[in-house]
Amino acid sequence: MTLSYIDEENGAWQTYLAQIDRVAPYLTHLSDYIDTLKRPKRALIVDVPIVMDDGSIQHFEGYRVQHNLSRGPGKGGIRYHPDVDLSEVMALSAWMTIKTAVLNLPFGGAKGGVRVDPRKLSTRELERLTRRFTTEISPIIGAQKDIPAPDVGTNAHIMGWMMDTYSSTQGHTVTGVVTGKPIHLGGSLGRVKATGRGVFITGRHVANSIGLKLEGAKVAVQGFGNVGGEAALLFAEAKAIVTCVQDHTGTIYNPNGLPVEALIAHVEKHQGVGGFADAIAIDNEAFWDAEIDIVIPAALEGQITVDRARRLNAKMVLEGANGPTYPEADDILIERGVVVVPDVICNAGGVTVSYFEWVQDMASYFWSEDEINQRLDKLMVQAVEDVWRCAHENKCTMRTAAYILACERILLARQERGIFPG
């Protein structure tokens, strides 16, 4: 199926379509509805003009895509990155549809983004950009319609501006319109660390299932931000050894284990792992040759190529990032016996605690961090067990199993709702 507005051959959207094609043979009972997954329900492209600090006017391109709303309001982050484009946002929104369904959360899938390098903007420019972008997408977002959250290049502070701007358009405070907000604006305890925590919870569970001991296991992490940093910390706490870390400033290596807390403090101070004293700097490509047990891609999509999959010396891949593995590379990892815990479950901790945040905002009643972490553990362990069982029953990978479970839930909802006007 081709969409007239997408003409690339090898982007993230094509990766997603290939994943749907792989699961289609397992969904023959719902085949009348499967095309609903191969196109977004709604895609909005907006112009975001802002006055820069020097008085000039610059235009940025923004997007909000709602891939599927069959099971509830749209849910998905906002990405600020210079490479953001419609195809990428479509793919990310589709993965949110799958993710919310695997976790059985009452949401559909959506995603947004602005084609901008936020590091090149001043705080005032970033605020203007966020407020104008929010105004432009206001007609289609809302606490019962579509609920954004942070992603690469955005954070709680930016979510606070989004909530405030949207509330101004409505004439009253609407805390539930975005999640990942600061705590004193209706944010949830545990939200910032939830995605990294979810990577650890799913990784621990699958490691246990394949007989891989975390104590002493060697871990490499690509991307040392919100997700990669917290996952690395929890693995180190479980006595795994984080030997190799890569971010946009370079790759560092210490065969005896990097002191993760000190590295987090270094990144906070220097905005990257580059220059960290307690490690040696290695070539970026050497990251994929390191002798390890677990690799956690937690940066951007399209990182595990065919070539890197052939070279990878790991027993397990934990997809902290969205879409880090090309479908052809997936095949090589299967052949080589590497277990891949797919993004749609591995990094679903964030959206799960976002769901908790939304529920707390709706009730105006807030839970303790312990309660949130316990609920997160329970939902994620349940989901990863379901996926593991489905993979065994169907003799397929965890990715295909996650898609079988999710797509079945989404398409059953579509079937039961029917096609309007019938």
Contact string 84-123 vs ligand NAD (x = CB under 6 A): ----------------------------------------
- Asked if residue 421 has a cis previous peptide bond (ω within 30° of 0), the answer is yes
CA 227 to CA 194: how far, in whole Å?
A: 8
The interface with ligand NAD within residues 328-367 (CB under 6 A) comprises 347, 350
Question: Binding site residues for NAD(+), as ranges?
Answer: 195, 226
Does the footprint of ligand NAD cover residue 178 (CB under 6 A)?
A: no
Q: Express the helix, strand and coil content of the chain in percent, nearest 5 each.
A: 50, 20, 30
> φ, ψ for residue 203 (rounded to 5)?
-65, -45
Query: Which amino acid is it at 108?
Result: G
Nearest CA to 12 among 105, 102, 111, 147?
A: 111
Does the footprint of ligand NAD cover residue 136 (CB under 6 A)?
A: no
Q: Which is nearer to ligand NAD, 49 or 82 (CB)?
A: 82
- Please answer whether residues 357 and 188 qualify as being in contact, where contact means their C-beta atoms are separated by less than 8 angstroms: yes
Residue in 37, 174, 298, 338 binding ligand NAD, rule: CB under 6 A: 298
Candidate ranges 8-16, 50-58, 131-139, 294-302; the one touching ligand NAD (CB under 6 A) = 294-302
397 vs 18, 41, 226, 312, CA distance in Å?
Answer: 15, 28, 27, 18
Q: Which is nearer to ligand NAD, 124 or 270 (CB)?
A: 270
Residue in 126, 236, 241, 299 binding ligand NAD, rule: CB under 6 A: 299
Does the footprint of ligand NAD cover residue 179 (CB under 6 A)?
A: no
User: Residue 198 Cβ, how far from ligand NAD at the closest point, in Å?
Assistant: 8
Does the footprint of ligand NAD cover residue 15 (CB under 6 A)?
A: no
Q: Which is nearer to ligand NAD, 66 or 226 (CB)?
A: 226
* Residue 182 CB partners (closer than 8 Å, separation 6+): 156, 157, 159, 160
User: Residue 320 Cβ, how far from ligand NAD at the closest point, in Å?
Assistant: 5
How many residues touch ligand NAD under the rule CB under 6 A: the total is 24
Question: Binding site residues for substrate, as ranges?
Answer: 75, 99, 354
Candidate ranges 37-45, 158-166, 317-325, 381-389; the one touching ligand NAD (CB under 6 A) = 317-325
DSSP E strand stretches across 136-293? 146-150, 218-222, 241-247, 250-253, 280-282
CA 217 to CA 263: how far, in whole Å?
A: 19
Q: Which residue is nearest to ligand NAD (CB)?
A: 225
Does the footprint of ligand NAD cover residue 40 (CB under 6 A)?
A: no
Does the footprint of ligand NAD cover residue 402 (CB under 6 A)?
A: no
Look up tokens 């769901």; give the residue: 355
Q: Give the dihedral sign, CA 33/320/12/387.
A: negative
User: Residue 77 Cβ, how far from ligand NAD at the closest point, in Å?
Assistant: 6
Residue in 22, 41, 248, 409 binding ligand NAD, rule: CB under 6 A: 248
372 vs 132, 157, 191, 280, 379, CA distance in Å?
Answer: 33, 21, 9, 38, 11
Question: Binding site residues, as ranges?
Answer: 75, 99, 195, 226, 354
CA 233 to CA 253: how far, in whole Å?
A: 16
Q: Which is nearer to ligand NAD, 82 or 216 (CB)?
A: 82
Query: Which amino acid is it at 148?
Result: P
Does the footprint of ligand NAD cover residue 296 (CB under 6 A)?
A: no
Contact string 201-240 vs ligand NAD (x = CB under 6 A): ---------------------xxxxxxx------------
User: Residue 343 Cβ, how far from ligand NAD at the closest point, in Å?
Assistant: 7
Q: Which residues are known to be catalytic?
A: 111
CA 129 to CA 351: how far, in whole Å?
A: 24
> φ, ψ for residue 412 (rounded to 5)?
-65, -40
> Which residues of the shown chain bind ligand NAD in the complex (CB under 6 A)?
150-153, 195, 222-228, 246-248, 272, 298-300, 320-322, 347, 350
